[in-house]
Amino acid sequence: VGNLFLYYLFCFATSLGDEIFYISFFPFWFWNIDGYVGRRLCIFWGAFMYLGQATKDILKIPRPTSPPVVKLEKRYSLEYGMPSTHAMVGAGLPFGIYFLTRDRYLFPSMVTLSGAIIWCSVVCLSRIYMGMHTLLDIVGGLLYVFSLMFVCFYFSILDKVDYFVLHASLPSLIVTCLLIPICLCLFYPLDRNTWSTSRGDTTIIIAVCSGSLISHWLNYNLGQMN
């Protein structure tokens, strides 16, 4: 490490795609800002993270070799590299926030877009700095998440899923938010007897999305929210 400013900047940027960020960001958004946007963002996050992680284990493209790369982060070393799910999170969350709030709130679009671009850029650069991804991994992750974003927002998929879950009957909720997520985790593209950090992280993400949707269904049906 030759530059402490860059090191700590990119350590922070890397944390924007880790559990510490998730367990802070989503509850803060639900409790203090807007559950309407938060639910849709959580659904989108769960979908693109599952697809991104599963694609890694299907393609099996290794991370950069060390040497010559110096790996400053050991946790994800056993995972494959393409696409970068950190890049997907770095683009999916800030740009998802922008598209979900632009017709709901009044705010300066250019300022918000600039913030999203900076957020995304710093996260993506951090993965190269940390020695965890190649430029191709980053580009692949960005193309992947922006393609999914286009499909989800153009066809209003997030609105339809959110409306369906909130107004679902109890049997429909059990199928949608319990049985389907369990099947997704069981039939993740690895041997069912094989564990990996990517499979473990994906299971946690799916569980968080399911729990969030079930809790909002409960609040809505108990009359605790509009």
- Active-site residue set: 86, 133
How many Cβ atoms from other residues are within 10 Å of residue 164's Cβ? 12
Q: Is 219 helix (H, G, I), strand (E, B) or coil?
A: helix
As given in the structure block, the two tokens for residue 128 are 């190269």
Residue-wise DSSP of 183-214: HHHHTSSS-TT---HHHHHHHHHHHHHHHHHH
Cα 107 from Cα 33, distance rounded (Å): 14
Residue-wise DSSP of 121-155: HHHHHHHHHTTS--HHHHHHHHHHHHHHHHHHHHT
Residues contacting residue 40 through CB under 8 Å, at least 6 positions apart: 96, 100, 158, 159, 162
Across the chain, which distance is largest between two alpha carbons, in Å? 59
- Measured CA to CA in angstroms, residue 72 lies from 1, 14, 66, 192 at distances of 9, 11, 11, 31
Contact 110, 98 (CB under 8 A): no
